[in-house]
Chain A
Amino acid sequence: MKTISGFWRRFWTGLRSITGDDAYERYLEHHRRRHPDVRPLEPAEFQAAELDRRGSQANRCC
């Protein structure tokens, strides 16, 4: 039982990471660690910037 829930949790975290679902949480975590004195971006602000960033790089191939 424990291994199944462990596997499921790993699968779920992996899926969230690959799709970019956890991008804001990762950003917040980074922010707390590196710049604790600065106010982080709001979710909507961050998402807007994130969408722009994703579309502006040569990251899609044949």
Chain B
Amino acid sequence: MATKKLTEVGTWTAIAVAGAAALGGIALHRGETINALWFVVAAVCVYLIGYRFYSGWIAARVLKLDATRATPAERLENGRDFMPTHRSIVFGHHFAAIAGAGPLIGPTLAAQFGYLPGTLWLLVGAVLAGCVQDMLVLFCSTRRDGRSLAHLARDELGRFGAGAAMIGTLFIMIILMAVLALVVVKAMAHSAWSTSTVFATIPIALLIGVYLRFIRPGKVLEATAIGVALLLVAVAAGGWVDQNPTLHALFDLDVRKLAWFVIGYGFVAAILPVWLLLAPRDYLSTFVKLGVVFLLAIAICVLQPDIRMPALTQFIDGTGPIFSGKLFPFLFITLACGAISGFHALVSSGTTPKLISKETDVRMVGYGSMALESFVAIMALVAACVLDPGVYFAINTAAGVVGADPVTATATITAWGFPVDAAQMQELARSMGEQSLFGRTGGAPSLAVGMAHIFGSAFGEGLFAIWYHFAIMFEAVFILTVLDAGTRVGRFMVQDALGTLWAPFGRTSWPPSAWIASLLVVASWGYFLYIGVIDPNGGINILWPLFGIANQMLAAIALAVVTSIFIKTGRQRYAWVPGLPLAWLVTVTTAAALQKIFSDEPRMGFFAAARDLSGKLAAGVLPPERAAVAPELIFNQQLDGWLTVFFLLVVWTVVLDVARGCYLHLSGRRTARSTETPYVATQLA
């Protein structure tokens, strides 16, 4: 017994020392390059320590997880969504549900500050905030029959707060879908290879849908294996399409056409039966995602690439070319997924709790999955930082910022202190099978170049172009899955809301209602996508911060609901566990939102940008092609400004509502009834 204890203490001391050494190495290193393995070691040690100690303490002392208490999966078992499931399987499901394009894109964009700020916030944010949020929401929902966040909010807050939370969620989903659609459109722009590969994923998904429904019902693994093989064929065939002049011309599309295509796709996918497109695509994307994450981790450990990005760049002062804004608060807005993401609260309530077989599994599923997602984000950061910084900025900076001409663009970037030349970019584009890599904003192309670099070097060179397009396909597959699923879920929310005005509209399967609601949702995200496409400076610079603010506000809403539950269930002493991340998120989002609303700098403030553009339009100094779209851009900047005001009001409404409820409860003026399902002893072994 004593030896066991001693071994444990020894092991954890060793992990702590290794983690501290790796983190110290990363933070204090001032050489030309630094080995990526340091990041892996530091990250793994931090997650292990956070998991072992903080989540262990939360599980035992704060939540008092009780293995003898029957979970909703056991009590309400129906053989489908309520189903006691082994914890490693629930872990897999939950991880696949929370990890998407977000933890890949955010870190890629945040690399403009250098590798250090992003790495530190991913580690600290995940361990103290993100993992905690996921675990606490999962716990609260598991103790309440697996109810959704909206339902929990309705039970805990007043009608007003709950309504604000619901409308907020819908708007956040719309911004999320717009920004992800923009990423995929930018990745396909004028690339026949990428476009044909991404298009090919649609018939492949349809085929798998038919296979699963009619040919071999239920043979999911078999169907998925066929689908993945076909996806790989599609990646290789894209290279052939690219070489064929007729096909090349057919798939070489500009961003506007691609945007219209994606909008049309979103609408069709939302009204088609789920089994035909959405569910099979979901099976495929889960499989590809888990495979690539695993492969990337191995490749980084085998290859141990060097990080070329400096620890800090001059852009922490707010002049960054990819997105504007100082380190505080915009690092914490940009790195949403991977550190803390409000969207996870939707998955942690509603879907996952119905599978938990033992209450103590909440720790591994909630805290552990998020730690793994944060690790994915660290790998994405590594993939962005192994590129030459000059190349990284050339790919990720919009033409409106550095100029469309390669010579001007490279000269500007070189003048920032990140040497790059046009010939180098041309050679890189050729090796990736692309015409040009300049101004390919959105994060996906630069991540794909980084991944191709890592995969190509670890598993054989000469296949850069294949790996590049594999990476683009990989991102596109689950971005399109989010568009399908998000539009559908958004449609249900709209139907639910309009159903209260006119009852027939609430019948979700009634075709006119389904069509109109889907059209409303698609039109909303389609609008932001279209504006992002026609704006030469904007796009990502506008939409990503808007998404970050919205996503972090959803996290704040979730944590506010959890804090309220803590206060009313006798956990006042520990209210700081959700309360500290909540205070931080409210601070960060409020600071960012206020700057976005009130800043006089056109690249920062929405209203300032609108004023700036109106002035230029009136003075007649805009080139004709910009003047043509200026009225739409001005309207959009004003709309974005008002949307930010709205988000700010929503989050403060919820926070103040929670504060009021907690005050009334603590001062004894109102006794809150418990919303927890009463204890039932488990029958499971």
Q: A34-B77, A61-B344, A62-B551 are in contact. Are A56 and B492 (CB under 8 A)?
A: yes
Contact A51 B92 (CB under 8 A): no
CA distance A55 to B88 in the complex (A): 23
Give the contacting residue for A55; candidates B93, B279, B287; CB below 8 A: B279
Q: A47-B212, A61-B341 are in contact. Are A17 and B89 (CB under 8 A)?
A: yes
Contact A55 B98 (CB under 8 A): no
Min C-beta distance of A29 to chain B, whole Å: 8
A contact residues around B85 at 8 Å (CB): 17
Q: Which residue of A lies closest to B280 (CB)?
A: A51
A5 interface residue (CB < 8 Å to B):
no
A contact residues around B222 at 8 Å (CB): 21
CA distance A23 to B220 in the complex (A): 9
B80 interface residue (CB < 8 Å to A):
yes
Interface range for A? 20 to 34
Q: Mark A13-40, 1 if CB is under 8 A from B, else 0.
A: 0111111110110110011001000000
B336 interface residue (CB < 8 Å to A):
yes
Min C-beta distance of A47 to chain B, whole Å: 4
Q: Which residue of A lies closest to B84 (CB)?
A: A30
Q: Which residue of B lies closest to A30 (CB)?
A: B79
Q: A47-B212, A61-B337, A62-B102 are in contact. Are A18 and B79 (CB under 8 A)?
A: no
Min C-beta distance of B158 to chain A, whole Å: 24
A contact residues around B481 at 8 Å (CB): 60
Contact B101 A62 (CB under 8 A): yes
B17 interface residue (CB < 8 Å to A):
no
Q: In the complex, which of the residues A16, A46, A48 has the most CB atoms of chain B within 10 Å of its own CB atom?
A: A48
A contact residues around B89 at 8 Å (CB): 14, 17-18
A contact residues around B484 at 8 Å (CB): 55
Q: Mark B329-347, 1 if CB is under 8 A from A, else 0.
A: 0000000110001011011
CA distance A21 to B225 in the complex (A): 12
Interface range for B? 35 or more
Q: Which residue of B lies closest to A55 (CB)?
A: B274
CA distance A31 to B79 in the complex (A): 7
Contact B283 A59 (CB under 8 A): no
Contact A61 B488 (CB under 8 A): no
Contact A43 B180 (CB under 8 A): no
CA distance A53 to B344 in the complex (A): 20
Q: Mark B99-141, 1 if CB is under 8 A from A, else 0.
A: 1111100000000000000000000000000000000000000
CA distance A21 to B216 in the complex (A): 12
Contact B351 A47 (CB under 8 A): no
Q: In the complex, which of the residues A16, A17, A24, A59 has the most CB atoms of chain B within 10 Å of its own CB atom?
A: A59
B contact residues around A21 at 8 Å (CB): 218-222
A2 interface residue (CB < 8 Å to B):
no
Q: Mark B150-164, 1 if CB is under 8 A from A, else 0.
A: 000000000000000
Give the contacting residue for B350; candidates A15, A30, A52, A57; CB below 8 A: A57
The chain B residues found within 8 Å of chain A, CB to CB, are 77-81, 83, 85-86, 88-89, 92-93, 96-103, 148, 176, 180, 209, 212-214, 217-222, 224, 273-275, 278-279, 282-283, 286-287, 290, 336-337, 341, 343-344, 346-347, 350-351, 478, 481-482, 484-486, 488-489, 492, 551
Q: 7 closest Cβ contacts across the A-B interface?
A: A55-B274, A62-B102, A51-B275, A30-B79, A47-B217, A18-B92, A55-B278
A–B complex contacts, Cβ < 8 Å, 10 sampled: A34-B79, A48-B275, A52-B273, A54-B274, A61-B99, A61-B100, A61-B102, A61-B341, A61-B346, A62-B336
A59-B347, A61-B341 provided; 15 other pairs, C-beta below 8 A?
A: A14-B92, A18-B92, A18-B96, A27-B80, A47-B213, A53-B80, A55-B275, A56-B488, A58-B346, A58-B347, A58-B485, A60-B282, A61-B100, A61-B482, A62-B551
The chain A residues found within 8 Å of chain B, CB to CB, are 14-21, 23-24, 26-27, 30-31, 34, 43-44, 46-62
